[in-house]
Amino acid sequence: MAENRLFYAKAMQKILSKESSFAELKEEFCESEKGFANMLIMTALRRLSFIKEDVLPLFVKKKIPAKQKILEIILYLGITELLFMHTPEYAVINSYVEAGKSATDKFGANFINAVLRNVLRHKAELLAQKNTKYFSKEFLKILKQDYLPETIAEMEKFTGIEPPLDVSVKQGFSFCEGGTILPTGSVRFLANTKVKELERFDDGKWWVQDAASALVVNALFDLRGKKVLDLCAAPGGKTAQLLDKGALVTAVDISLKRLDVLMENIERLGLLKNLEIRCSDALEFQEDQKFDVVLVDAPCSATGTFRRHPEVIHLKTLDDVKKQQGLQKKILEKAKSFTLSGGLLVYATCSLAKAEGEVVIREFLAKNKDFQIRSIVLNGCEKM
C-alpha cells in the first residue's frame, strides 16, 4: 500500500508540474486500484487550495526545500485521505510514513508522521471550517476579469460535487436505463456511473459527451448531405454528432494519437461512411473546396471543465488565456476561408474566460463585415 501511495504522489507531482496530464497517468494505474487512485487524486486536486492555504500552514512552519518537494505532495494526499475519505486513519498514517521514508529518508518519514498525526488530532475542527475554498489564486484572477464575486462563489460551490455522466444518443435509438433525458436531448446519469456497464455500449448506440459540449451541434440546422469541416476535432464527440445528423465531415486535428481515439470511437458507433480524417495543424490545413459549415472547436484554457478536470484550477493562469486567445484568433481567420458564402462558421470553446469567447467573436466580426451573428434555435426557442 505504501508503494502505491508514493506512486500516486509522484503522479500528482507530474500533474502539478505540467509534466503529464491526469488522463495520461491514469493509464499507468493498475486495474484493481484505478477507482481508488482516481478518487484520491481528484479529491486532492479539488481540495488542494484548502489544504495548501488553510491546513498545512498550521502544522508546517518552514518551507519544504525544493529537492524534497515530494514530501509536500505526500502530505497533500495524506491529508486528503484523513479529512475527506474513508480509509482507516491508522492505515493512512502508516502508508504515508512509509511513502515518505521510501521517497527520502528516515527524516522524511518522521516529518510526515508528525504532520499527519497533528492533522488527525485537529480533524474535527478542520472539518468544522467552511470548506468551500476550491479555486487557486491564479484561477480566481482569470474569473475576476469577467464575473462578480457572488457569481464566482456560486461556481466554486460546484467544485466539490462530482459531475454527472452525460451521453449523446444516436438518432432513432431510445436509451435511458436509469438516466434522465435532458431538455437538450442528452441523457444524464449519476456521478461515478460505470460507462461500460450501461447497455448497448459495445453496440455503438451512444457515446459519452457532456451536455454543454453537445449543445454546439444540437443547435445547428438540418445537416443531411451538408459538407462540414470539423477543425480541432479530436476526440470526436461533436464529430459523431455531425455524422449522426447526416453530414459529410472532414475532421482535422493536429494530434495523430487523438485522431486514433476519434477513429476508434466513430468506428464503434458505425459512423465511418461519411468521414474523412486529416492530420494537420489547423493553421496549416489546406483544402480547395469550401464547406456549408465550418466548426472551430478551438483550443482554449479549458477553465470551464474544472469540475471534471480539477487540475485546471491549479495549472491555468491569465497568461494561458492570453496565449490561447492569440491562437484562437488565427484559427478563426483561417477558418473563414473555408466557409461557403451563406454558410455557417461556428466557434466554440470550453473556457469561462470571455477573452477566449465573446472578445474573440467581437473582434472577428469587427474585421469581417461579411459575417454576422446568427440566432440559435434550440427546442423551438431562439437565442442570440
126-164 pLDDT per residue, tens: 999 877 789 999 999 999 999 999 999 999 999 988 999
Rounded distance between C-alpha atoms, residue 332 and residue 352, angstroms: 19
Q: At what angle do helices 318-336 and 358-367 cross, to 10 degrees?
A: 40
**What average pLDDT does the chain have?**
94
Residues 324/300, Cβ–Cβ less than 8 Å: yes
Please give the pLDDT value at position 312.
Answer: 97
Please give the pLDDT value at position 384.
Answer: 41
Residues 6+ apart with CB under 8 A from 2: 94, 95, 96, 97, 98, 99, 102
Residues 6+ apart with CB under 8 A from 384: 373, 375, 376
301-352 pLDDT tens trace: 999 999 999 999 999 999 999 999 999 999 999 999 999 999 999 999 999 9
Domain with CATH 1.10.940.10 in the chain: 2-128
The DSSP letter of residue 250 is E
Where is average pLDDT lowest: 36-50, 243-257, 368-382?
368-382
Domain with CATH 3.40.50.150 in the chain: 165-383
Phi, psi angle pair for 366, to nearest 5°:
-65, -30
Please give the pLDDT value at position 132.
Answer: 77
Please give the pLDDT value at position 244.
Answer: 97
Is residue 300 among the annotated active site residues? no
**Mean pLDDT across 61-75:** 94
| Residue 43, CA atoms < 13 Å, CB-side half-sphere | 19
> pTM here?
0.92
Phi, psi angle pair for 191, to nearest 5°:
-55, 150
CATH class belonging to 165-383: alpha beta
Please give the pLDDT value at position 377.
Answer: 67
- Which residue in the list 30, 279, 300, 350 is annotated as catalytic? 350
Task: Provide the grid cell at 237.
Answer: 464527440
Please give the pLDDT value at position 383.
Answer: 47
In the chain, what are the helix, strand and coil shares in percent, each to the nearest 5?
50, 15, 35
CATH class belonging to 2-128: mainly alpha
